[in-house]
Amino acid sequence: MDTKINEPQTCYAILHISNGPGAKDMQDGLRVIVEDSGRFHLTENIWMERFDRDLGQRIQTSCEPPHFNMSSAVYDRHLYAFVKRVTEPQKSKYEGMSELAGLVAFSRLVHPTSTGDRYCARIFRYGDNNSPIECVRFFGVSPDVSLIDARRDWLSARHGQTLLKLVSWLPKDKKMHDRIHHAYWNHESALRSYYLDVKWTFVVSAFEALLNTRDKYVALQFRERVGQLAKHFNVDLTEAELKAAYNLRSQLVHAQNFLFGLNNVLPQSEHVPLYTKLESLLRSTLLTCLLEGTFGDHFRDNSSVDSRWPVNFPVPKKCKKGP
C-alpha cells in the first residue's frame, strides 16, 4: 500500500494531546502506536501518524482561541493524529470528518483515551507547508473526553492491531444490533461526561439497553445479567456491588440526591472503584460484540438475551377464587 501522498490533497485530522509512555511503560515494552515520522494505516485513506512540529503547532494554533492582545503561539503538544484523506467531493460540510470521529470512538473500546473534538481540523493542501488550516467545530456534544484513569492515555502498537479489526464497522451500511448500538452510544456519552453522577447513569443505562427484556424486575435483570457478564469476563463484581450500583443509578436518575450524598448506599471511597469496574466490563462486552459475531448475536433480541443470560423471575402468585 502506498504510504505517501504525491501531491497536496485535502485531509481531516484529529490530534491526540497527551503525554506519551513513561519510563515504566518503556521498560514493559509498551510503545505508542506511531512514533516520529512513521504511519499506521487503518484503511487506504485513513491512517495515524505523528506530524512534524510545525504542522502540529499550526493545527493547535488554528483550534485554540486567538485571545486579544496576547500571543496565541503554542508549542507542539500532540502525541499523534488520526488522519483521513478526502478522495471525492463532499455532499455536506465536514462530511469526511464523521468517519474519522467514528474511528476514534471505536478506538475507545480498545483502550480509553481522551482524544476529543477540540483539535479537529481540515488541512486544505496536506503536504504543503503554506496550506490553509481550518478548525472544525462541533456543537451539541462535549468536545472533551474525561477519563477516570488517565495514566496511559494513548494507544499502543498492540491496541492498533485490535483497532484494525474494528475498521469493518465504519461503513454506514454496516449495522450493529440495536441493543449493541444503544449501549455503544451510552458508553461514548459516559466518556464525554465530566461528572461521575452522569457517567454512572449512562453506563448503567448501557447495560439495560443490552440486557433488559421485560418492563418489570429491571433491577433484578441488571443484577443477575451483569453478574453473568462479569463472570464471563472475569471481572470481580459482587452481588452487593451490583445491588448498590443499580440503587445509586435509580436515586441519581430520579434526582433524589447527588452522588456525594449517597454514602448510605455506598461509601464515597468506593464510588470510583465500582464505577471503574462497571465501565471496564461494558467496554469488554461491546468490544467482544463487535469482534465476535456469535457473541454479539446473544444481544440480537429479547429471546436471544433470555436464552443466553437467563434470569429467575418470580412466579406470579395465583389469585384466590371467591366463594
What average pLDDT does the structure give for the chain? Answer: 91
119-155, pLDDT tens digit by residue?
Answer: 999 999 999 999 999 999 888 889 999 999 988 999 9
- What integer pLDDT is reported at residue 26 of this predicted model? 82
**Residue 323: pLDDT over 80:** no
Edge-to-edge strands, sheet with 78-85: 39-41, 46-49, 78-85, 9-17, 120-126, 133-135
State pTM to two decimals: 0.91
Band of pLDDT at residue 284, cut at 50, 70 and 90: very high
Angle at the Cα of 261 from the Cα atoms of 256 and 262, rounded to 5 degrees: 75
Contact (CB, 8 A) for 319 and 309: no
Within 191-254, strands assigned E span none
Percent helix / strand / coil, the chain, rounded to 5: 45, 10, 45
- What integer pLDDT is reported at residue 319 of this predicted model? 61
Q: Does 270 or 28 have the greater pLDDT score?
A: 270
278 vs 281: CA distance, rounded Å: 5
**Residue 74: pLDDT over 60:** yes
Cell of residue 41, nine digits: 494505516
**Residue 3: pLDDT over 50:** no
Band of pLDDT at residue 6, cut at 50, 70 and 90: low
- What integer pLDDT is reported at residue 79 of this predicted model? 95
